[in-house]
Each structure stands twice: as C-alpha cells, then as structure tokens.
Amino acid sequence: MLPQEIIRAKRDGRPLSDEEITQFVAGMTDGTITEGQVAALGMAVYFQGMTGRESAALTLAMARSGAMLSWDVDGPVLDKHSSGGVGDLVSLALGPMVAACGGYVPMVSGRGLGHTGGTLDKLESIPGYRTMPGREEFRRAVLGAGVAIIGQTDDLAPADRIFYAVRDVTATVESIPLITASILSKKLAAGLHGLVMDIKAGCGAFMPTFEQAEALARSIVSVAAGAGLPTVALITSMDEPLAPCAGNAVEVREAVRYLTCAARDPRLHAVTMALGGRMLTLGGLAGDEAAARAMLERALDSGAAAERFSRMVAALGGPVDFIEACDRYLPRARTTLPVLATRGGRLAAWDTRALGLAVVELGGGRTAAGQGVDHSVGLTDIARTGQCVRAKDVLAVVHAASPAMAEAVRDRVLAAAVIDPMSEEGAPQDPVSVVLGCCE
C-alpha cells in the first residue's frame, strides 16, 4: 500500500493492520518514506489514537527495525525510563546505583523532547563522552561498568530514532501510542530482563493529569507484558522540577553531588529510591522494598555508585577523573542572574512547563530537529513549593549565554512562580503516587 494511503486510513480513524504498520516502519528505516509523511502519520495518530493491537504492532516493528541485543551476564539486565519532565536527572544517578547492587543497566535514552530535558544532552556536556558508540563498545561498557547510558546506535531501533526527532518539532509528543512505542522499542531492542517506568503527571509532564498518566502507564505495562518484558510503572509528580535545577551541565553537576553524597535533595532522593527499589526487586536482587532501599543506600554511602558512574564515563570516552573534578570539565554559562521574589508569602506552585521552556529559550533545548544545544545554560537553586519566601529572596538563578538573554528569561521564570500571600509554610507532597504492576 502507498504510504499516503496508510496515512489517509489513520487520518480517517481506521485501525491499521500489522502489515500496514510494518510496511510504514520499514519505509521509515530505508528512507523510502519522507520526513513529511512520518510527521503526517504522527499527527494522524495524535488525533485518532491507536488500539492496543496497533500500539503493540508499532512497538515490535520499531524494535525489530534494527539489531536485537542479548546478554550473557551473571545478573539481571534492568532499566528505568521516565516519560519526561523538568530537572529529572534520576537516570544519571540510578543506573550506577543499580549496577553497584549487582544489576546490569544498558540504558538507551533520548534527547530532549519539547520542554523536557534529555539524558543524552546532559551526558554530552561531559567532554569526550560518546553517546552514540558502536554496539560492541556499548557492550564492553555495560560489562565493565555495569551501566552504560547511550542513544540509539545506528543499528538499534533506527525507526524510533527517526520518529522521535520528528515528533519533537511537530507537536505530536503527547500521544500515548507513540510514547509507548518509542520507549518500549528501545527497551526491547536492548535485551532487558525487567523495566521500571517513571510516568510523570503534573504541569511539567506530557501527561498533565493523573488520568492521562495512568492511561500511559497501563498502555506501557500492557504492551510490555505482551512482548514478554516484565514491567512496573510508578506515577510520580512533575508539578515542580524534580531536582532544584534544570539544564544539561547543571543537572550533571547535581547528579555528581548526589552520587558523592555532597547533597541529596529530598524530592529527588524519594523518587530515585522508589524507582531503584522496584528495579532491584523486579530483578530478584532484593527480596523486598526495605532490603532494596538498604542496598541502594549502601551503594551511595560507600562510594560504589559514584565509582560505577566514573567507570561508565571513562569507558565511553570521558575523563577518567570526572567524578573528582567535574567542575573543571563541565561548561559554565557566561552570565548568571538571580530571579528575586517581588513579594513575600508562600511559594504555592511553579508553572513547571514554563520553566522547561525557559531552558529551551536559553538554548538548552531544541526548536528544530537536529539542532545543537548549549550545554552550559539552565536554571539552578530553584526554590521548592511550599516554602516561605520574602521579597527579594532568590527563587532561581538563570545561567545564560548573555546578559540580555538572562534578563529575558528571568522575567519568564518570575512569571512562572505562584506566590500566595499567606505566610504559612506548606507540607511537602509525596512525589511518588501509584505503582502499577506488570499483571495489571
């Protein structure tokens, strides 16, 4: 069937057959289907949706569009993936933590999508770090460090890489079938034994409501189970940045602080431990959540997790002393500018999506496919919701390439802060909401 007829069928709401989906994905991979046609199908799916069968067929077709890895190792092959948020650096910390506990973590990640940050963009702020190694280099890094975080290699789920880039710049990111297929195609191709999903809900997530997040979680768990990949999904809050920073180099710096126990933001720590606990129990490395959390804490406190991160960076071309000297290697923005509260009260909320878009405006994200990013820019010292602030207290610090850009973004960040004139401090919210098991 002609590609335009497949697009027309989905545009008009007709479910696509497995053959049509497989044919379209094959055309994406071999270049016979154009970027415009990929964008058109993405928009049609965005508005018309897909059945569970269609979503599973798309997932498997994209996973099989390249190599399918397998592992001969002495421990479980595990991974964690987030549906996207602001200040979400969990992957940088959690992969090494699980590796230090006996797991193997071949993490295939993506770049920023829309207003959310991308793990690959963050890692590329490390000089020399190769996010796109060959398959054998990837394998050696996983076996040597226990963890390797990379992007899709040329032969690993190539159809997803093509679709992913187009979705980012055509406003078709927030589609449950496309998110499901994008995430799981990479994970199935990576040869996992178990997957833990972090599904974000809130104003900074692609799924802003709990109901949308739950629908995405159930879609991923269902499709993964059908493909033979045991999966657990947690729904966590993205009503404020997960870490007190957002950007590329600034988040890597925060991850190093977390791994070396120099600083542990409570909100970031709660989500990291919840996800890590599920990974260890899913992989049979711990008998229950309490035992898993104790193992993860030991991995942090002993320095074993930091050492695994260091080995990963070195194995993929980065500095061998990165953990000890990260400030020497990570780029810094030319200009910093504090965002000061204009009145006192309680910081009731952040427009978290606006904060993510502020980082994009600074150059830390993309507005066109294939565009480069400025790894040095971003936001730090982001105040936590619920805390009391006084006039002229720092709500965040802007890191920008120029004073003019810093001032423009400062106004956007200030507009994103909701300050309640009430002076009472609010109780912190539990950022972990719900767990969905692979049998649900």
Place of tokens 């180099």: 249
Last residue of a domain, one of 327, 351, 375: 327
Is 82 part of the annotated catalytic residue set? yes
Clarify whether residues 353 and 216 are in a common domain.
Answer: no
Q: What is the mean pLDDT of the chain?
A: 93
Is 122 part of the annotated catalytic residue set? no
Of these residues, 79, 88, 168, 351, which one is catalytic? 79
Clarify whether residues 152 and 230 are in a common domain.
Answer: yes
Residue 12 falls within a domain, yes or no? yes
Residue 143 falls within a domain, yes or no? yes
Is 264 part of the annotated catalytic residue set? no
At 420, which amino acid appears?
Answer: D
Is 399 part of the annotated catalytic residue set? no
Residue 69 falls within a domain, yes or no? no
C-alpha pair distances (Å), 52 with each of 15, 18, 195, 207, 225: 10, 12, 19, 18, 12
Last residue of a domain, one of 327, 362, 377: 327
Clarify whether residues 360 and 268 are in a common domain.
Answer: no
Residue 62 falls within a domain, yes or no? no
Clarify whether residues 297 and 380 are in a common domain.
Answer: no
Q: What is the DSSP string of 50-85?
A: --HHHHHHHHHHHHTTS-------SS-BEEEEE---
Of these residues, 22, 59, 65, 80, which one is catalytic? 80
Residue 143's CATH number = 3.40.1030.10
pLDDT on residue 399: 98
State the Cα–Cα distance between residues 231 and 138, nearest whole angstrom: 23
Under the banding of pLDDT at 50, 70 and 90, the label for residue 434 is: low
Last residue of a domain, one of 327, 355, 379: 327
CB-based contacts of 152, cutoff 8 Å, min separation 6: 66, 108, 132, 158, 160, 161, 186
Residue 439 falls within a domain, yes or no? no
Under the banding of pLDDT at 50, 70 and 90, the label for residue 194 is: very high
Of these residues, 29, 119, 185, 376, which one is catalytic? 119
- Model confidence pLDDT, tens digit, residues 244-275: 999 999 999 999 999 999 999 999 999 999 99
Tokens of 309: 């991160």
State the Cα–Cα distance between residues 362 and 410, nearest whole angstrom: 11
Of these residues, 10, 111, 186, 253, which one is catalytic? 186
Clarify whether residues 244 and 358 are in a common domain.
Answer: no
Residue 26's CATH number = 1.20.970.10
Clarify whether residues 300 and 354 are in a common domain.
Answer: no
Clarify whether residues 323 and 356 are in a common domain.
Answer: no
Cα pseudo-dihedral 173, 176, 178, 182, rounded to 10: 90
Clarify whether residues 388 and 246 are in a common domain.
Answer: no
Number of domains in the chain: 3
Is 81 part of the annotated catalytic residue set? yes
Q: What is the DSSP string of 275-313?
A: HHHHHHHHTTS-SSHHHHHHHHHHHHHTSHHHHHHHHHH
Residue 72 falls within a domain, yes or no? no
Is 219 part of the annotated catalytic residue set? no
Closest to 7 (Cα-Cα) out of 45, 60, 62? 45
State the Cα–Cα distance between residues 111 and 122, nearest whole angstrom: 9
Clarify whether residues 339 and 311 are in a common domain.
Answer: no
Closest to 121 (Cα-Cα) out of 434, 378, 350? 378
Q: Is the pLDDT of residue 75 over 70?
A: yes
Residue 346's CATH number = 3.90.1170.30
Phi, psi dihedrals of residue 303, rounded to the nearest 5°: 90, 0
Q: Is 196 helix (H, G, I), strand (E, B) or coil?
A: strand
- Model confidence pLDDT, tens digit, residues 281-340: 999 999 999 999 999 999 999 999 999 999 999 999 999 999 999 999 999 999 999 999
State the Cα–Cα distance between residues 366 and 371, nearest whole angstrom: 6
Of these residues, 81, 111, 353, 410, which one is catalytic? 81
- Model confidence pLDDT, tens digit, residues 131-143: 999 889 999 999 9
Clarify whether residues 87 and 123 are in a common domain.
Answer: yes
| Alpha helices (runs of H) in 126-283, residue ranges in sequence order | 135-145, 158-168, 176-189, 210-226, 249-259, 266-282
Domain that holds residue 167: 78-327
Distance of CA 23 to the CA centre of its chain: 29
Clarify whether residues 225 and 165 are in a common domain.
Answer: yes
Residue 396 falls within a domain, yes or no? yes
Clarify whether residues 145 and 240 are in a common domain.
Answer: yes
Residue 154 falls within a domain, yes or no? yes
- Model confidence pLDDT, tens digit, residues 13-31: 999 999 999 999 999 999 9
